[in-house]
Amino acid sequence: MSDKQPVYIMPENVSRTVGRDAQRNNILAARVVSEIVKTTLGPKGMDKMLVDSTGDIIITNDGVTILNEMEIDHPAAKIIAEIAKTQENEVGDGTTTVAMLAGKFLENAEKLLDKRIHPTVIARGYALAAEKSKEILKEISIPLEDKSILKQIAMTAMTGKGAEGNRSKFADLIVAAADRVSVGNEINIDDIKIEKIKGEDAEKSELVEGVVLNKEVTHDEMPKKIHDAKIVLFDLPLELRSPEREAKVSISTPQQLQEFITSEEVALKGIADKVIASGANVVFCQKGIDDVAQYYLARAGIMAFRRVSKSDMSRLARATSGKIISNINELSMESFGKAKLVEEVKRGDEAITYIRGCENPKSVTILVYGSTSHVIDEMERAIKDGLGDVISAVKSGRVVAGGGAVEIELAKRLREYSKTLGGREQLAVEEFALALESIPETLAENAGLDPINVLTELKQRHASGASKDGLNLFNDKIEDCIVAGIIEPLKVKMQAVSSATEVAIMILRIDDILISSGNKRSGAGMNSNPYAGME
């Protein structure tokens, strides 16, 4: 009888998956995420309806929105969702592409794992392919010389989204907004506000050279429209400050009560009088405005708005060239912002305030109209994608052909590059190239075309030197995508390839997974079925 006793180094609520099982489980989870977003790619991509536990509905084909709203449970799948967020934050578009590529890189790596090629070798091959891809992308990109290309970039980004029917109109708004707030090649997306209004036709959407607030004046007697506005921006309350420590006021007679109330009114009138004496006729306050102060401001014909968000206060300052004041004694004409018109407009039950005609606005607003909240939300996501692409193109100053053209050219050149490599890394580079071809293949598939015929013709054209030929899904033909106006920023493609490769390598190198669970659902996050929690 053996005297050996089992040794436990982990508690019972920790599940462990090791070796090939861990790799296969992670790869399968990444593939599932890739398959989920795959059908949304391109102008003919389908939408997803996401309904949360409270019954709220989101209808979208935006990759990052889908992955954010899904209740993903698997740790490897969560990592794929994270790179989509990074792509969105860095370049504003290409979220579906990056999730698809990561899944495809891992799927193709599994073929090599089955041939007993070590994960480290595959990772090294993928890293070489990614570096070479960046070189090739820079080489095949073209400079952004004509600003009219920006409109085509914005239209390409919005194609297939909820703004499809008005993409030309929205593209004009996006380019005009970016041009208005640009400082050289730098554009801060926070300087472009998107304000949504339900009920009107999308064709009425407009660019306001200033700020639009979902606010109404604080007092009914205040004017609803002021020309040649002299604007004061306060981040202090126009009300009596509450004592920081608990205070008690002892009042024993009605006269004392009246004196106390009167002293408060006098103090508030003093605050209002300082604003009135300054010559300002519009007040935006980040904090509250007391009813008494409102009354005196209204009597003096001053518009006032309270509880304006900090971000909107910053936009107002940049748009009107005003200064945000923290001490009422510092109020002077030099701190005023200026606008040709401040106007409150009623739309149904809601009030919208326009600050228009700012002299040199460094913050603008795209006003988006739509029939329902779901439609407007998807339009907003489309406009954000368009903005992201335009900003990325302006920053990098270079663009590439869309429609799968750049992926086919990359794959062709990577195969040529793989022949210069010795060892098994060559096989990894070839699988990397094959994964890139999944983008044009999916574009064709989602449009109802034969993906094999499309890929064959694309490869034949690129082999003969037509490096900018891609799939134009508006006429279902293969043609020069630069001429057809299907253009994407270089930065979006560079970021997608780089992020997807890094994540694929990270997941490939995992061979041991330990998951701790404090309850009976031990190991739930690594359910052998990666579809769990994704249905």
- One domain for residues 275 and 285: yes
Contact between 62 and 84 (Cβ < 8 Å): no
The secondary structure of 423-449 as a DSSP string is STHHHHHHHHHHHHTHHHHHHHHHTTS
- The residue type at 334: E
- The pLDDT tens digits of the residues spanning 478-488 come to 999 999 989 99
Domain shared by 200 and 325, yes or no: no
Q: Do 192 and 102 have their domain in common?
A: no
φ/ψ (deg, to 5) at 143? -70, 150
Sorting pLDDT into bands at 50, 70 and 90, what band is 528? very low
d(Cα 530, Cα 75) in Å, to the nearest integer?
A: 10
Question: Are 260 and 302 contained in the same domain?
Answer: yes
Retrieve residue 372's tokens. 């329902």
**pLDDT averaged over the chain?**
86
Tokens representing 59 are: 């209808």
Domain assignment of residue 4, yes or no: no
Same domain, 132 and 201: no
The verdict on 350 and 271 lying in the same domain is: yes
Amino acid symbol at 130:
A
Check whether residue 254 and residue 313 sit in a common domain: yes
Query: What token pair was written down for 116?
Result: 């007993």
CA 161 to chain centre: 14
Query: Which CATH number goes with the domain that contains 283?
Result: 3.50.7.10
Lookup result for tokens 């001053």 = 302
In a domain, 155, yes or no: yes
Is 424 inside a domain boundary? yes
**Other Cβ atoms within 10 Å of 514 Cβ, number:** 13
pLDDT tier at 520 (50, 70, 90 boundaries)? very low
Does residue 417 lie within any of the structural domains? yes
Residue type, 27: I
Q: Are 96 and 63 in contact (CB under 8 A)?
A: yes
Q: What is the pLDDT of residue 531?
A: 43
Domain boundary among the residues 360, 386, 411 is at 360
**Radius of gyration of the chain, Cα coordinates, nearest whole angstrom:** 29
Residue 526 lies inside a defined structural domain of this protein: no
pLDDT of residue 323: 93
**CATH code of 509's domain:** 1.10.560.10
Is residue 173 a contact partner of residue 367, using CB atoms and an 8 Å limit? no
| 222 and 347 assigned to the same domain | yes
* Domain-embedded: residue 5: no
Q: Structure tokens of 500?
A: 């997807």
pLDDT at 292 over 50: yes
Smallest CA-to-CA distance from 61 within 170, 164, 162 is with 162
Model pTM greater than 0.85? no
Same domain for 116 and 191?
Answer: no
Within a domain: residue 372? yes
The domain spanning residue 192 has which CATH number? 3.30.260.10
Work out the average pLDDT over 196-200: 82
Name the nearest CA neighbour of 171 among 147, 153, 186, 144: 153
In this structure, the answer to whether residues 65 and 167 fall within a common structural domain is no
Domain-ending residue, one of 335, 370, 396: 396
Regarding whether 65 and 23 lie in a shared domain, the answer is yes
Mean pLDDT for the stretch of residues 66-73: 85
- Which tokens belong to 199? 């009920």
Specify the residue for token string 């860095």: 90
pLDDT tens per residue, range 360-385: 888 899 999 888 888 888 888 889 88
In the block, tokens 């335009």 appear at 390
Which residues have a catalytic role annotated? 62, 95-96, 385
Instruction: Choose the weakest-confidence range: 35-39, 51-55, 138-142.
Output: 51-55
Residue 224 and residue 95 share a domain:
no
Residue 324 belongs to what domain range? 213-360
Q: Is the pLDDT score of 76 beyond 60?
A: yes
The per-residue b/e assignment along 115-138, b for 16 or more CB within 10 angstroms, e otherwise, is: eebebeebbbbbbbbbebbbebbe
Contact (CB, 8 A) for 366 and 192: yes
**Tokens at 155, concatenated:** 């239209």
Q: Looking at residue 261, what is its pLDDT?
A: 61
Phi, psi of 340 (to 5 degrees): -70, -30
Burial class (CB in 10 A: 0-12, 13-18, 19+), 139: exposed
Per-residue pLDDT of 79-90, as tens digits, reads 998 998 888 888
In this structure, is residue 3 part of a structural domain? no
Predicted local distance difference test score (pLDDT) of residue 3:
61
Domain count, the chain: 3
Q: What percent of the chain has pLDDT over 90?
A: 47
